Amino acid sequence: MKHITIVAPNCQTNLGTVACIAGAYEIFSRAGEYFKESGNKELYKIEIAGVASNTALAGGLFSVNIHTPVADIKRTNLVIIPSLNANFEKGGKGNTEIIDWIVNQYKNGAEIATMCSGAFMLASTGLLDGRSCSTHWNYANLFRTLYPDVNLQPDELITDENGIYTNGGAYSFLNLALYLVEKYYDRKTAIFCSKVFQIEMDRQSQSPFIIFRGQKQHNDEMVKEAQAYIESQLTEKISIETLSSKFSVGRRNFDRRFIKATGNTPIEYMQRVKVESAKRAFETTRKSINEIMYEVGYSDLKAFREVFRKFTGVSPLVYRSKYNKDAAGI
C-alpha cells in the first residue's frame, strides 16, 4: 500500500492550518472509501504526521493527535504541507526537523503539495528555485522579496511541476485536494468528492479574488513615486516615455527598475491599477460598463474587456453580476 502524509507543523500555525489538515484528511479518506466501494483495492494509507504526539495548532486553540512522528516515516508518496501564519521566516526555523524530512522525502521520490502559505515553508528548502509556484495573492509581494529565485504565479490557482504542487490562498486548498484526488485515484473519484463536499471542479485561477494593492514592499524611491503618479492619473493614458522622462530616467533603465521593484512592467502596473478601480466601481455602484470604462481611462470597449479579463479571468459583465446584485440587471 502506498502512503500519503499530511504534515502538522510544529509552530507558526493558524486556523487555516487546522482547516487544511482537517479538510485534506477528510477528503482523501472519503476518496479512499469511495474508491474501495467501487470495487478497487485500497491504494493509500493516509496519516497526519508531525514532531510531537499532540501538536498544538492556532496558538493552542486546537490540537491534533498525530498518527505517527515524521521521523518514523521512512518513505511516503505524497507530502501535503498546510498553510502557516504570516511569520514565515520563524515558521521555517521552528519546523527544521519537518523541513529536513520533506527534503529527504522529495529526494527519495515523494511528491510535495503545499496549501496556501505553506509554499513559504517549501520555498525555504530551495526546492522551488527556478520552478513555478502559487500562494495566497495577499502574500505575493512578500514571497517575491524572500524568494526571488522562485517563478511566482499568483494568478494561478494550482501549479504542477516536477512532482511539486502549489495552490492559491485560503480555502482554495479544497480545489487542490480535488486535483490531487484525481491524480492519485481517478476522475470518477474526484467528481464524487466534488459532489459530496460541494466543491467546484476544475477551478484554475484565483484572479477574480485578487485585490491589487500595488507592490510597494521595495526600497526604490523613484519607482514608488512613479507608482503614486500612475495611481493619481487613473483617467489618463500615460506613455512610458512620458513617465520615464518625468523622473529623468532612460526608458530602458526605467523599465528595468520598475520590473525589479514591482514584478510588473509599467504598462502592466497601469492596467492593474485601472482594473482594480473598475472592480471597486462594479462592486459598489450602479454605473454602466461604459461609464466605468471611461472613468479608468479606456475609450475602446473591446480593449477594456480584454484587459479586465486578463487580470480577473472574467468579463466586466460577469464580474458585476457576481459581486453586485443591485446592478446585475443593468
More confident residue, 201 or 119: 119
In a domain, 111, yes or no: yes
In a domain, 108, yes or no: yes
3-state SS assignment for residue 231? helix
Q: Residue 24 sits in a domain of what CATH number?
A: 3.40.50.880
The fraction of the chain above a pLDDT of 70, given in percent, is 97
Tell me the three cell numbers of residue 292. Answer: 466605468
Calculate mean pLDDT across residues 226-238. 90
User: Rounded to 5 degrees, what are φ and ψ at 55?
Assistant: -95, 120
Same domain, 196 and 287: no
Q: In the predicted model, is pLDDT for residue 330 greater than 60? A: no
- The Cα 273–Cα 212 span in angstroms is 7
Same domain, 198 and 228: no
In a domain, 212, yes or no: no
Q: In the predicted model, is pLDDT for residue 329 greater than 70? A: no
Q: In the predicted model, is pLDDT for residue 90 greater than 70? A: no
Same domain, 188 and 256: no
Same domain, 233 and 180: no
Give the model confidence (pLDDT) of 181-195 as tens digits.
999 999 999 999 999
Same domain, 259 and 169: no
In a domain, 9, yes or no: yes
Contact 123, 112 (CB under 8 A): no
Same domain, 138 and 171: yes
Return the residue matching grid coordinates 505517527.
68
Query: In which element (H, E) is residue 158 found?
Result: strand 158-161
Query: In which element (H, E) is residue 21 found?
Result: helix 15-37
Same domain, 34 and 141: yes
In a domain, 213, yes or no: no
**232 burial type by CB count under 10 A (0-12 exposed, 13-18 middle, 19+ buried):** exposed
Contact 84, 9 (CB under 8 A): yes
Count of domains forming the chain: 2
Contact 283, 242 (CB under 8 A): no
DSSP for 177-222, please give it: HHHHHHHHS-HHHHHHHHHHHT--TT--B-GGG--------S--HH
**23 burial type by CB count under 10 A (0-12 exposed, 13-18 middle, 19+ buried):** buried
Tell me the three cell numbers of residue 224. Answer: 514608488
Give the model confidence (pLDDT) of 13-58 as tens digits.
999 999 999 999 999 999 999 999 999 999 999 999 999 888 899 9
Same domain, 156 and 256: no
Contact 98, 72 (CB under 8 A): no
Q: In the predicted model, is pLDDT for residue 301 greater than 60? A: yes
Same domain, 175 and 70: yes
Same domain, 112 and 240: no
Instruction: Answer left, alpha or beta for residue 64, where phi above 0 means left and psi between -120 and 50 means alpha.
Output: beta
CA 164 to chain centre: 14
Same domain, 244 and 174: no
Calculate mean pLDDT across residues 262-275. 93
Domain boundary among 157, 179, 207: 207
Domain that holds residue 287: 221-323
Domain boundary among 175, 207, 239: 207
In a domain, 277, yes or no: yes
Domain boundary among 207, 229, 248: 207
Interhelix angle 301-312/316-323, rounded to 10 degrees, is: 60
Q: Residue 281 sits in a domain of what CATH number?
A: 1.10.10.60
Same domain, 81 and 194: yes
In a domain, 214, yes or no: no
- The Cα 91–Cα 124 span in angstroms is 10
In a domain, 165, yes or no: yes
The fraction of the chain above a pLDDT of 90, given in percent, is 75
